[in-house]
Amino acid sequence: MKALRTVSSRPPLLVVIDGPAGSGKSVITRRLAKALGVPFLYTGAMYRAVTLIALRRQVRLTDGPALVRIARSLDIRFRTGKDGRVRVLVGGRDATTALNHPDISRLTSGHVANEPKVREALVERQRRYMTGRGLVAEGRDCASVVFPRAPYKFYLTASFAERVRRRFADLRKAGVAVELKRIRLDMARRDREDRGRATGALKVMPDAWVVDNTRMRQEETIAAMLRRIRGKCSTA
C-alpha cells in the first residue's frame, strides 16, 4: 500500500486502535502505520516489559514504588525485521518472545497494569512517542486515556472463539507450548480484568469506529480503516 500523504498545514496524523486481546491490533497497527508512513506504538508491550524486568530483578510485583521506578527508566524500542515481523527490544535485547508468553501477560494484567502510578508513568512516556510525522498507537486505553483527542479512533474486535484461535496460533508459531484450554481461560480472565479496571479500562469510546474483523482478512481490515481515515481527511 502507498503511504498516505497529508497536507502540510494539517496536524500530524494520529490514529489510535483499542480492543481486546487477540483482536489483531499489533499486526494491524504495524501494517497501517506502514501504509500511512508514520511510526507505531504498542502500549501493552510497555506494561509487559515492566513485568519482565521486575521478574528478572526479583522485584515483587506488589512493590508499587519499585515498579514505578522501572516504568520511568524503561528502555524499550520497536523494530521491524527483514521478515516484516516486529521485534521488541528491552534494554537493547530482543525480548519479543518473552513478552508474549502467557505467564507475562497474566502477571501484567493481574498486577502491573493495575498500579495507578505505573500507568501514569507509562502514559506520560507513551505521549512522547507522538512525532511531527504522526503515530499509530494501539492498546486498551489509547482512545480514552493516552490520546483522548485523537481524530481517528478505532475499536478493533472479533468473536471470543476467533480471538482464542488467533492467540493459540501465534503462540504455536512462536514456539511457545501451551494448551488451547489454557488460552481460552486466560483470554476470558483478561477480558474481565481489562474491562473492570479502575483506571484505563477497556471500553468503546463514543467517537470510535468499531471494526469487527472476525471474518475479515488483515488486508480487508486495513483497507477498511484506510478508507475511513482518507474519508475523514477529505472532509476535515
What is the mean pLDDT for each group of 10 consecutive residues in the chain (236 residues)? 51 94 93 94 96 97 97 93 83 93 92 94 95 93 96 98 95 88 94 89 95 96 95 59
CA–CA dist 55, 38 (Å, integer): 33
Contact 51, 107 (CB under 8 A): yes
Domains of the chain: 13-222 (3.40.50.300)
Let me know the angle formed at the C-alpha of 145 by 142 and 149, rounded to the nearest 5 degrees. 80
In sequence order, what are the residues at sequence separation of 6 or more whose Cβ sits closer than 8 angstroms to the Cβ of residue 9?
Answer: none
Grid cell for residue 180: 488451547
Q: What is the pLDDT of residue 231?
A: 81
Q: What is the pLDDT of residue 7?
A: 40
3-state secondary structure of 149: coil
Q: What is the pLDDT of residue 232?
A: 67
Q: What is the pLDDT of residue 122?
A: 97
CA–CA dist 223, 48 (Å, integer): 30
Amino acid at 67: L
Q: What is the pLDDT of residue 177?
A: 85
Grid cell for residue 185: 481461560
Grid cell for residue 12: 500530524
pTM: 0.89
CA–CA dist 209, 49 (Å, integer): 29
Q: Give the bridge partners for 14, in sequence order.
A: 135
Contact 28, 222 (CB under 8 A): yes
Residues 193-206: b if buried by 16+ CB within 10 A, e if exposed: bbeebeebebbebe
- Cα–chain center distance at 161: 20
Q: What is the pLDDT of residue 34?
A: 93
CA–CA dist 40, 77 (Å, integer): 11
CA–CA dist 67, 118 (Å, integer): 7
3-state secondary structure of 41: strand
Q: What's the Cα-to-Cα distance from 204 to each of 17, 21, 188, rounded to whole Å? A: 10, 14, 18
Q: What is the pLDDT of residue 9?
A: 54
Grid cell for residue 186: 486466560
